[in-house]
């Protein structure tokens, strides 16, 4: 039997959103249940990412302080041991491994040290870019899910609203009356789904934009750090 007709027969209309949910239709409860699950997922992702980026920001600041105090490339490599596993340290280790494994194209002479050729420097740059992309991919894990939740939640809420409105019209047809008392409970129940969907979507979209901007900023920082590494090698005469 239609829920609106039941309320009318009992002479009791819910007076709060909670009562509407408790006494609502099965379709509304399913929609609200799905939205509740999506909300928990989005908040769990946002908390985990906030904690991760906070740790990276702290460790990166410590690493850059040690790096700026280093007087040579080898000294900078030693500073990695004093920092956490931050993306900057990964870039430095990749550059160190490259220099250790690749033989300089220009052999050392009495007037200069061995130098890397232009093609080798370009290979080093590509290696650093690859590590930068890998770091971004690792840190962006689950962030796109926030965008998906933010986009899908309003549609799910709209589905619940449409089903609620349909239920309200069925109630009108069952009672043979179109007065406000017959329509209002069903419409109110339908709008609860819309409100719940917005409550899920707004934080998810906000979190997605926040972390996406943080990833873009980190990407720029890593590109700049890779340029600093190459500039340091130039100053040491190794390029």
Measured at the CA of 69, the angle between CA 63 and CA 75, to 5 degrees, comes to 80
Dig out the tokens for 145 from the structure.
């899910």
Q: Which SS3 state, helix, strand or coil, does residue 106 take?
A: strand
Please state, in angstroms and as integers, the Cα–Cα distance from residue 42 to each residue in 38, 46, 143, 212, following that order. 6, 6, 9, 15
What is the pLDDT averaged over residues 170-191?
66
Decide: 34 and 42 in contact? Cβ < 8 Å: no
pLDDT at 1: 43
Banded model confidence at residue 37, pLDDT cuts 50, 70, 90: very high
Q: Which SS3 state, helix, strand or coil, does residue 112 take?
A: coil
pLDDT at 5: 46
Residue 175: CB partners within 8 Å, gap ≥ 6? Answer: 4, 5, 8, 182
64-94 residue pLDDT tens: 888 888 778 887 887 776 666 788 888 888 8
- The pLDDT > 90 percentage for the chain reads 28
Measured distance CA(130)–CA(126) in Å, rounded: 6
Measured distance CA(39)–CA(195) in Å, rounded: 13
Banded model confidence at residue 8, pLDDT cuts 50, 70, 90: very low
pLDDT at 169: 75
Dig out the tokens for 129 from the structure.
């870019």
What is the pLDDT averaged over residues 9-38?
71
Q: Which residues of 103-113 are buried (b: 16+ CB within 10 A; e: fewer)?
A: eeeeeeeeeee
88-130 residue pLDDT tens: 888 888 888 888 887 776 665 666 566 777 788 888 889 999 9
For residue 123, what is the enclosing H or E element? helix 118-139
Question: Among the listed ranges 40-44, 63-67, 123-127, 130-134, which one has the minimum average pLDDT value?
Answer: 63-67
Domain boundaries, the chain: 3-8+34-106+122-235
Measured distance CA(81)–CA(70) in Å, rounded: 13
What is the pLDDT averaged over residues 132-139?
90
Dig out the tokens for 164 from the structure.
């609620």
């Amino acid at each position: 039997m239609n829920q609106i007709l039941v309320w009318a027969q009992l002479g009791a209309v819910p007076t709060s959103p909670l009562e509407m949910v408790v006494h609502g239709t099965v379709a509304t409860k399913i929609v609200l249940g799905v939205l509740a699950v999506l909300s928990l997922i989005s908040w769990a992702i946002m908390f985990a990412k906030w904690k991760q980026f906070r740790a990276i920001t702290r460790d990166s600041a410590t690493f850059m302080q040690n790096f700026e105090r280093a007087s040579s490339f080898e000294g900078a490599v030693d500073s990695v041991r004093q920092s956490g596993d931050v993306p900057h340290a990964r870039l430095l280790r990749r550059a160190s491994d490259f220099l250790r494994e690749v033989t300089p194209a220009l052999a050392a002479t009495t007037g200069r040290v061995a130098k890397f050729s232009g093609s080798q420097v370009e290979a080093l740059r590509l290696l650093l870019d690859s590590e930068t992309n890998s770091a971004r991919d690792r840190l962006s894990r689950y962030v796109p899910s926030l965008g998906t939740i933010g986009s899908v939640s309003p549609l799910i809420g709209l589905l619940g609203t449409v089903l609620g409105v349909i239920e309200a019209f069925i109630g009108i047809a069952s009672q043979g009356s179109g007065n406000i008392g017959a329509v209002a409970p069903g419409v109110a129940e339908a709008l609860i789904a819309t409100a719940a969907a917005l409550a899920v979507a707004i934080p998810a979209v906000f979190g997605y934009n926040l972390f996406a901007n943080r990833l873009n900023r980190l990407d720029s920082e890593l590109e700049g750090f890779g340029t600093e590494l190459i500039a340091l090698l130039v100053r040491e005469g190794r390029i």
